[in-house]
């Protein structure tokens, strides 16, 4: 009997130790799982915020504004430079957030956009609206501290992009023309921020980026044609991936190149370009034109995507050449 009691006591102790060990393991697993969920949740919120404001696009637009500022300024004021960057980012972020609110149902139909925060259900419309509203107010206030004209052009950009361009995208290919207006404002906005004046110089910068928008966005509309069709968007000038669209892409590319070299002739006030810089800008334009002609010949989505990528490199390169030429001329 004593030996039986001893055996039972030993088994009880073993069971107790096993139970404690199991509870400890479960606790460890729960803690690990919780930490894992937390680590996954945080990047998700951050990535959704980036997506709703299209951070990468916003930063590229800010780059254009800063380039325009450096072209127009006599002495660089770093405070104004920072304010322009912040204000520009907020304005672009607001436009993108409003755009995704308006197009939430259409975004859900397209492979490219169905995983955006609102159609995917990760962000409510109210949350997105709050973000867009805060960004709008912050952007206008910050740009207003630079000067009134800068704030005015920033507000015009948001209005046209949100209230005119976005609704027209499902109605007519003319939407690309309308969208090119706010798309061209950032480059000239920088000059206005530097000088508090709108004249031939910012007008030329506006024209350059305005004409560039057409081959750039038509290239996007070409290689995403089937996806855009699901959402009912009309992005190509003829409505189709045809020779007519390809010819117009070539024409607007030529206009872009011509406008880009105008400053060398002395018609554009303080906006000037040296012979060397003009040659470099022209060569960059020929590079883009080569791919535009390539799209005409091949008529493929791959050729359109190549043109789109080259167009991004082109406009960035031209802006850099303009700025560097000013400071070393």
Average pLDDT over residues 195-219: 95
pLDDT at 9: 44
Query: Does residue 192 sit in the same domain as residue 68?
Result: yes
pLDDT tens digits for range 238-262: 989 999 999 999 999 999 999 999 9
Count CB atoms within 10 A of the CB of residue 160.
19
Does pLDDT of 174 surpass 60? yes
Average pLDDT over residues 139-153: 95
> Which residue, 197, 227, 250, sits at the end of a domain?
197
- CB half-sphere exposure, 167, CA atoms < 13 A: 5
pLDDT at 56: 84
pLDDT tens digits for range 31-41: 443 443 434 34
pLDDT at 258: 97
> Which residue, 197, 221, 252, sits at the end of a domain?
197
Query: Does residue 60 sit in the same domain as residue 162?
Result: yes
> Which residue, 176, 197, 218, sits at the end of a domain?
197
Find where tokens 């380039």 sit. Answer: 67
Q: How far apart are CA 101 and CA 114, in angstroms?
A: 13
Q: Is residue 274 part of a domain?
A: yes
Count CB atoms within 10 A of the CB of residue 11.
10
Q: How far apart are CA 149 and CA 297, in angstroms?
A: 44
Does pLDDT of 15 surpass 90? no
Check if the beta carbon of residue 190 is closer than 8 Å to that of residue 70: yes
Does pLDDT of 10 surpass 70? no
Q: Is residue 144 part of a domain?
A: yes
Token readout for 130 is 């709050």
Token readout for 215 is 């081959």
pLDDT at 35: 41
pLDDT at 80: 94
Q: Is residue 139 part of a domain?
A: yes
Does pLDDT of 323 surpass 90? yes
| Domain of residue 310, residue span | 199-329
Query: Does residue 174 sit in the same domain as residue 222?
Result: no
Query: Does residue 205 sit in the same domain as residue 327?
Result: yes
Count CB atoms within 10 A of the CB of residue 90.
25
Does pLDDT of 7 surpass 70? no
For residue 2, CA distances in Å to 13, 15, 247 come to: 17, 20, 102
Q: How far apart are CA 279 and CA 287, in angstroms?
A: 12
Question: DSSP readout, 310-324?
Answer: HHHHHHHHHHHHHHH
Q: How far apart are CA 69 and CA 152, in angstroms?
A: 16
pLDDT tens digits for range 64-83: 999 999 999 988 899 999 99
Does pLDDT of 1 surpass 80? no
Does pLDDT of 128 surpass 90? yes
| Cα-Cα end-to-end distance for the chain | 106
Q: Is residue 45 part of a domain?
A: no
Tell me which of 44-53, 182-191, 233-242 is least confident: 44-53
Percent of the chain, pLDDT > 70?
A: 87
Q: How far apart are CA 29 and CA 27, in angstroms?
A: 5
pTM of the model: 0.83
Helices (H), 73-174: 78-102, 104-107, 125-146, 148-159, 166-168
Tell me the helices (H) and strands (E) count for the chain, helix number first.
Answer: 13, 0
Count of the separate structural domains present in the chain: 2
Computed over every residue of the chain, the mean pLDDT equals 87
pLDDT tens digits for range 276-313: 999 999 999 999 999 999 999 999 999 999 999 999 99
């Amino acid at each position: 009997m004593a030996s039986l009691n001893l055996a039972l006591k030993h088994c009880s102790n073993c069971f107790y130790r096993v139970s404690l060990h199991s509870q400890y393991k479960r606790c460890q697993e729960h803690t690990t799982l919780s930490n894992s969920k937390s680590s996954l949740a945080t990047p998700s919120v951050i990535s959704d915020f980036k997506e709703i404001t299209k951070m990468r696009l916003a930063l590229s637009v800010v780059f254009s504004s800063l380039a325009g500022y450096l072209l127009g300024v006599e002495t660089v004021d770093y405070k104004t430079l920072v304010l322009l960057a912040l204000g520009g980012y907020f304005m672009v972020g607001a436009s993108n957030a409003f755009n995704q609110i308006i197009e939430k149902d259409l975004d859900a139909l397209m492979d490219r956009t169905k995983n955006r925060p609102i159609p995917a259900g990760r962000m409510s419309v109210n949350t997105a609206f709050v973000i867009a509203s805060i960004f709008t107010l912050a952007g206008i206030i910050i740009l207003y501290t630079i000067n009134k004209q800068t704030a005015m052009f920033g507000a015009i950009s948001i209005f046209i992009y949100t209230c005119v361009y976005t609704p027209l995208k499902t109605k007519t290919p003319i939407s690309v023309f309308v969208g090119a207006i706010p798309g061209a404002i950032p480059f000239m906005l920088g000059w206005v921020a530097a000088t508090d004046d709108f004249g031939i110089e910012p007008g030329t910068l506006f024209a350059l980026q305005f004409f560039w928008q057409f081959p750039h966005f038509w290239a996007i509309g070409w290689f995403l044609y089937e996806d855009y069709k699901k959402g009912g968007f009309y992005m190509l000038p003829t409505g189709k991936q045809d020779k007519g669209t390809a010819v117009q892409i070539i024409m607007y590319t030529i206009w872009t190149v011509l406008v880009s070299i105008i400053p060398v002739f002395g018609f554009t006030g303080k906006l000037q370009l040296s012979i060397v810089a003009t040659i470099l800008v022209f060569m960059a334009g020929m590079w883009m034109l080569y791919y535009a002609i390539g799209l005409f010949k091949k008529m493929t989505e791959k050729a359109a995507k190549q043109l789109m990528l080259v167009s991004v490199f082109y406009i960035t390169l031209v802006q850099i050449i303009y700025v560097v030429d000013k400071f070393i001329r």
